[in-house]
Amino acid sequence: MTETKTRNSINLKGSAQLVKEFFHFGLNSILYQRALYPADSFKREKKYGLTLLVTHDKKLLAFLEPLLQQVEYWLAKKKLKRLVMVISEVKTKEVVERWQFDIHTENVEEEGENAHRQKDEKKIRQEICDVLRQITASVSFLPCLEEPVSFDVLIYTGKDTEAPEDWTESGACLINNSETVQLRSFSTSVHSMNKRMKVLSTLKPLI
């Protein structure tokens, strides 16, 4: 049996697993840092040399776990183009934050599903660590969410991609008059990711 990952190389399946793992910790970090759920509904977990917060809320887990399984499946099928977490005010439905993760998949069809690309997994995990550090640090410059908010996750895939029956189509949930903050990127050598966090502008026009 071909190994999914070796120390200095990675294949499509192994890359999908690593990116899914990033989204697991990344989405949880955003939810915790932006206080969308009570702090006591998160538990500490050591990963990438960091202490990260992950939810143990049953309803939230029931949403996130199948979502991330589907994300991993589409990553392995080279279908996933973008994942976006949208934060909206409950009362007005106005989008106040849009965390956008753009995904590029290398053309590995000619190499076969189990072909390995060369990149040290330790280096990949360090790059993921750097992104998660930035998400944690974002609290220092993001505006406070003063109104009750909710979140949703938008998935962009290739054409003719079959989605689960309980998923629905959505608009882009864009933000007008927004400020954009560019976060670090990381690459597994199979999947590369550019991350863009788009935040509703708090600047007021001069009178």
CATH of the domain at 158: 3.30.900.10
Give just the sign of the alpha carbon dihedral 103, 11, 167, 54: negative
Q: Would you say residue 54 lies in a domain? A: yes
Q: Would you say residue 26 lies in a domain? A: yes
Rounded to two decimals, what is the model's pTM? 0.86
Q: 52 forms bridges with which residues in the sheet?
A: 45
Burial of residue 160 (number of CB atoms within 10 Å: 0-12, 13-18, 19+): exposed
Answer for the pair 9, 117: CB distance below 8 angstroms, yes or no. yes
Structural domain including 168 reads: 5-200
Question: For residues 44 and 64, what is the distance between their CA atoms, to the nearest angstrom?
Answer: 17
pLDDT of residue 110: 52
Query: Which residues in the chain come in under a pLDDT of 50?
Result: 1-6, 201-207
Q: What are the E-state strand segments in 56-164?
A: 80-89, 95-105, 117-118, 149-157
Q: What are the E-state strand segments in 49-144?
A: 50-55, 80-89, 95-105, 117-118
Domain count, the chain: 1
pLDDT of residue 205: 32
CB count in 10 Å sphere of residue 183:
20
| Counts for the chain of helices (H) and strands (E), in that order | 3, 11
The tens digit of pLDDT for each residue in 19-74 reads 999 999 999 999 999 999 999 999 999 999 999 999 999 999 999 999 999 999 99
pLDDT of residue 1: 37
Q: Would you say residue 206 lies in a domain? A: no
pLDDT of residue 23: 96
Q: What angle do CA 194, 79, 7 make, to 5 degrees?
A: 65
Q: Please list, in sequence order, all residues whose beta carbon lies within 8 angstroms of the beta carbon of residue 11, skipping any fewer than 6 positions away.
A: 2, 4, 5, 113, 114, 115, 116, 117, 190
Q: Would you say residue 207 lies in a domain? A: no
Q: Would you say residue 90 lies in a domain? A: yes
Q: Would you say residue 14 lies in a domain? A: yes
pLDDT of residue 198: 59
Q: Would you say residue 180 lies in a domain? A: yes
Q: Would you say residue 96 lies in a domain? A: yes
